[in-house]
A and B are shown apart, each in its own frame.
Chain A
């Protein structure tokens, strides 16, 4: 956290447009009898950086996993880039190829080299010629500062490096939206900064991002909105300044005091 706060973040590239990137209306989801997500309403404009936080089990992962259909919602609407998520497989594939996702445990493909991890989806989904896909992959590997590891296997890299590869792998699909599910919480402290730096750079270039994280330093510097969830509901959402300095609800205050307290 501290490393992030030391750096100045250049917000000039972070413009929010009026165009809607994601719209979630009255969305509900159940696991059996368990009501995980209750009446979720969120609109994300293009270029917004949204941080989602909340206690464990509050449904943060489930929420962002609904956006690319890793989980299926039962009620309400989710519209991504103008395409409504329904059980139509064509729509799902279209949305997935435009929404990148970074997982807590990286989920790189261990049987493929770093380069192959990055070129696989462009080649097989976007039908990019192999040579071009490799150029794109090297471009993004340079961006996340590990081009020299391209021919290694994921198992030979550190956690921080693996997570940066995972980011590069998503970027190779040229997504318009990026989802991050606790990208730094499986990492050792000294590796968190390198991953957050990569994410800050991405934000500075105007990527639309939804980030589930407890890195409040990142939220303060980069986010333009923080969403607080508890028990499947959105309890509060506000600009970071207001959110951290005057949280309105008691639950938010309690959560913030716990997470910032020590």
Chain B
């Protein structure tokens, strides 16, 4: 550079383009009418869209919000299409099912706290300390939804704390493997025998709690969210473990993972839900009953995890062998190289597939209506059976579809944002 006598040191700012090269007209010429074929396609599409809108819009915009029954809509000469009164009348039910009205602030609060809990996971710019809230949220959320004494969830959390301390003490004396096994055993024993006693004991001394709400009144979009979010949060880690298991050198682990994945992928979700609703109780010791929503969450999770595992396996397969070798050559052990090198890259490659599975899982929650749970689709059937709204169809389905669309579309947009953000090569 030194032999140039003059080098411009500042960039010139961009000049506005000449007239006629800017704005809507230019864009249209380039994108909609760039060739004869393109022009034909444009015209035909516009006609098609207008045709659909001409049918749809007049049907949608009807002064029917206030009407109290389908009869009223039909009798009113001003209403000539959609009868939106049903949404006004039943929106509470579609959102909360039969959850008691005076307690409905709890699921609402749980929802917003859920947003706070996932925020630090979704956006890495937020303070890392928020992760602590994400860690306790599952217990807080469950407590808000089902209510009861605060000591129940608190004693479950206490199990983790006890396990941690047992590990910490034994790890020094007896090595990390023994420490781990004993810690897990102690934690499980605590949950099975200690936690219940301790919770009722503590409740006797300091009765702290909110009104318990049984699973049977759960319903509506709140139910879909409960099942969907739990399924999403649980199926990702299980899917990761299954994908790693499938790649493992250890015969038993590999066979179990492959067997599990192939078995679950070969079975429709509906059958698993029936298993959840009927058969699972059959296997449990008599006298114990196992919450139906919990059973459904387990089944949905197990189902989604098998798909997740395959999506992540695709990401693992796409990584060059050199990444594993470089990690090995630096002396990282298996778990560290998976956690620090392999998984971050494999998950990044699989983002579209993972989010696709999430969206699929979320929409599949509507299948629980088949086993009698009152999710929005189940409620539609109930509402259609009522005297006031007998015969109504489109309005309800449109409303429910819109609720689902908002969530699925947000997930899809987030996945695109994440892919752009993680793009590190230029």
In the complex, what residues of A have CB within 8 A of residue B323's CB?
A: 107, 109
Q: Are A156 and B425 also in contact (CB < 8 A) when A103-B322, A124-B340 are?
A: yes
Known contacts A120-B340, A121-B331: A108-B422 contact under CB 8 Å? no
* In the complex, A82 has a CB within 8 A of chain B: no
Question: A111-B348, A120-B340 in contact; A125/B331 too (CB < 8 A)?
Answer: yes
B74 close to A (CB within 8 Å): no
Q: Which of A108, A110, A111, A173 contacts B331 (CB 8 A)?
A: A173
Give the residues from 92 to 150 in chain A that come closer than 8 angstroms, CB to CB, to chain B: 93, 96-97, 99-101, 103, 105, 107-111, 120-121, 124-125
In angstroms, Cα B331 to Cα A89, docked, is: 11
Is there contact, CB below 8 Å, between B340 and A97?
no
Q: Please give, as numbers and ranges, the residues of chain B lying within 8 Å of A156 by CB-CB distance.
A: 425-426
Q: Which partner residue on chain B sits nearest A109 by CB separation? A: B341
> Shortest beta-carbon distance, B425 to chain A, in Å?
3
Asked if B331 and A96 make an inter-chain contact with CB atoms under 8 angstroms apart, the answer reads: yes
A contact residues around B329 at 8 Å (CB) = 68, 70, 96, 99-101, 103, 170
CA distance A67 to B336 in the complex (A): 22
Quick check: is A169 within 8 A (CB to CB) of the other chain? yes
Q: Which of A69, A97, A105, A170 contacts B322 (CB 8 A)?
A: A105
* A255 located at the interface, meaning its Cβ lies under 8 Å from any Cβ of chain B in the complex: no
Please pick, from B320, B327, B332, B345, the residue contacting A111 in the complex, using a CB distance under 8 A: B345
**List of A residues within 8 angstroms of B333 by Cβ:** 89, 93
User: Which of chain A's residues has its CB closest to B323's CB?
Assistant: A107
Beta-carbon contact of B426 and A103 below 8 Å = no
A107 touches B326 (CB 8 A): yes
In the complex, chain B residues 340-371 whose Cβ is within 8 Å of any chain A Cβ: 340-341, 344-345, 348
A155 CB within 8 Å of chain B: yes
Say whether B325 contacts A70, CB under 8 Å. yes
Interface range on chain A: under 10, 10 to 19, 20 to 34, or 35 or more? 20 to 34
Tell me if B330 and A111 are in contact (CB < 8 A).
no
Complex contact B322–A107 (CB within 8 A): yes
> Which residues of chain B come closer than 8 Å to A108, judged between CB atoms?
326
Residues of A within 8 A of B336 (CB): 124-125
Q: Is A244 part of the contact surface with B, judged by Cβ < 8 Å?
A: no
Q: B424 contacts which chain A residues (CB < 8 A)? A: 110-111, 153-155
Task: Report the Cα distance A101→B323, complex, angstroms.
Answer: 13
Distance from A93 Cβ to chain B, minimum over Cβ atoms (Å)? 6
> Are the CB atoms of A107 and B331 closer together than 8 Å?
no
Name which residue of chain A comes closest to B341, CB basis. A109
Instruction: Please measure, in the bound complex, the distance between the C-alpha atom of A216 and the C-alpha atom of B332, giving whole angstroms.
Output: 34
Q: Say whether B328 faces chain A, with CB atoms less than 8 Å apart.
A: yes
- A103 near B326: Cβ-Cβ < 8 Å: yes
Residues of chain A contacted by B341 (CB below 8 angstroms):
109, 120
Of all chain A residues, the one with the shortest Cβ separation from B426 is A156
CB neighbours of A170 from chain B (8 A):
329-330
- For residue B17, give the distance in angstroms from its CB to the closest CB of chain A: 31
B425 touches A153 (CB 8 A): yes
Nearest opposing residue in chain A for B347, CB measure: A111
Nearest CB on B from A78, distance (A) = 15
Give the chain B neighbours of A124 by CB distance below 8 A: 332, 336, 340
Q: Which residues of A contact B320 (CB under 8 A)?
A: 105, 107
B386-426 interface code vs A (CB 8 A; 1 in, 0 out): 00000000000000000000000000000000000010111
In the bound complex, what is the Cα–Cα distance between A137 and B391 (angstroms)?
A: 72
A106 to chain B, nearest CB (A): 8
Q: Which residues of B contact A111 (CB under 8 A)?
A: 344-345, 348, 422, 424
Find the B residue at minimum CB distance from A169.
B330
* Cβ contact within 8 Å between B325 and A155: no
Closest beta carbon of chain A to B280's beta carbon, Å: 40
Contacts of A101 in B (CB 8 A): 326, 329
**Nearest A residue (CB) for B336:** A124
Which residues of the partner chain A approach B330 to less than 8 Å between Cβ atoms? 96-97, 120-121, 125, 169-170, 173
| Cα distance A93–B336 in the bound complex, in angstroms | 12
Residues in A147-172 with C-beta less than 8 Å from chain B: 153-156, 169-170
- Which residues of B are found within 8 Å of A110, using beta-carbon distances? 345, 424-425
Residue of B nearest to A172 (CB): B330
Contact digits for A48-71, partner B, Cβ 8 Å, 1 yes 0 no: 000000000000000000001110
A211, chain B: closest CB distance, angstroms: 15
Distance in angstroms from B326 CB to nearest chain A CB is 4
B328 touches A97 (CB 8 A): no
Q: B137 → chain A, closest Cβ, in Å?
A: 27
Taking A107-B325, A125-B331 as known contacts, 4 extra A-B pairs with beta carbons closer than 8 A to each other, sorted by chain A number, are: A105-B322, A111-B424, A125-B332, A169-B330
Q: Could you pull out 14 A-B pairs where Cβ atoms are within 8 angstroms?
A: A70-B328, A89-B333, A93-B333, A96-B331, A97-B331, A99-B329, A100-B329, A103-B322, A107-B325, A108-B326, A124-B340, A125-B330, A153-B425, A169-B330
